[in-house]
């Protein structure tokens, strides 16, 4: 039974809804999970996120919040244990900066290549490697983007730790190579963390999903 009326509307392989589940698990908040059929969204989702009609949506005490990074900050402000955000205003700004960078810059080439066919795979890999170089530097002297523990940027970067390898399998090309030792080290620590492991979708099903998405686009283009 979910505590305090907490509900998440998500989609099993969405990196955005997985973030929300990770944050709730880190806080030890029990929640009800509602899997959405993205072809036939629930009336609750359409009502609660009437602007974007997208997962994830968090519902807490009857009020809805949309947009994964906004939900993460809400969770951190509502349940104070195991903080996700740094306390120092400058560190907080930097965490928000890198989280935004991952969503707005890092993920875009891979999304365009894999899901929308708006970019060649080679070009997407090239751009992704430029971004991986930038993020490799951010990890300098740190175990996690959050320092010694998992924070906002790590949770947002689940897209890199879990989804980039799926993309690699789908297109049969490597990106997270030994050129990026800190990111590889981070990725291994991160995906093997107890809470993260529990929140990630099943691997075989994920690989099959990514391969099918990629193949579908290749044959239909």
Binding interface with a second copy (CB under 8 A)? 51, 60, 63, 65-67, 70-71, 73-74, 77-78, 89-90, 92-94, 96-97, 100-101, 105, 134
d(CA 179, CA 160): 15
CA distances in angstroms from 30 to 25, 190, 207, listed in the order given: 7, 22, 28
Least CB distance to a second copy at residue 220 (A): 25
Q: Provide the minimum distance between the beta carbon of 160 and a second copy in the complex, in angstroms, as a whole number.
A: 16
The least distance separating a second copy from the CB of residue 8, rounded to whole angstroms, comes to 15
Q: Which one, 91 or 168, has the nearer CB to a second copy?
A: 91
Q: For a second copy, which is the closer residue by CB, 114 or 135?
A: 135
> Quick count: other Cβ atoms within 10 Å of Cβ 129?
15
Measured in residues, the chain has a length of 221
Tell me how far, at minimum, the Cβ of 176 lies from a second copy, in Å.
20
Torsion of CA 113, 167, 161, 198, to 10 degrees: 120
Q: Which is nearer to a second copy, 63 or 205 (CB)?
A: 63
Distance from the first to the final alpha carbon of the chain = 46
How far is Cα 41 from Cα 46, in angstroms, rounded to an integer? 7
Q: Least distance from C-beta 64 to a second copy, angstroms?
A: 9
- Distance, in Å, from the CA atom of 187 to the CA atom of 132, rounded to the nearest integer, reads 12
**Cβ closest to a second copy, residue 94 vs residue 207:** 94
Which is nearer to a second copy, 30 or 50 (by Cβ)? 50
């Amino acid at each position: 039974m979910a505590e305090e009326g907490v509900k998440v509307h998500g989609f099993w392989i969405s990196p955005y809804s997985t973030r929300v589940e990770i944050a709730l698990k880190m806080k030890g908040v029990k929640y009800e999970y509602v899997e959405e059929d993205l072809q036939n969204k629930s009336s609750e989702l359409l009502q609660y996120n009437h602007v974007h009609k997208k997962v994830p949506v968090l519902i807490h005490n009857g009020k809805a919040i949309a947009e994964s990074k906004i939900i993460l900050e809400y969770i951190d402000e509502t349940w104070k244990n195991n903080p996700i955000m740094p306390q120092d205003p400058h560190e907080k700004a930097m965490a928000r900066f890198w989280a935004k960078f991952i969503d707005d810059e890092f993920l875009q080439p891979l999304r365009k290549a894999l899901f929308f066919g708006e970019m060649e795979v080679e070009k997407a890999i090239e751009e992704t490697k430029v971004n991986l170089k930038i993020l490799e530097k951010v990890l300098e002297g740190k175990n996690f983007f959050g320092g010694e523990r998992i924070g906002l940027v790590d949770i947002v970067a689940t897209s890199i730790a879990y989804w980039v390898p799926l993309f690699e399998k789908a297109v049969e090309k490597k990106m997270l190579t030994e050129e990026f030792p800190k990111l590889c080290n981070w990725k291994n620590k991160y995906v093997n963390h107890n809470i993260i492991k529990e929140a990630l979708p099943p691997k075989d099903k994920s690989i099959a999903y990514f391969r099918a998405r990629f193949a579908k686009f290749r044959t239909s283009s």
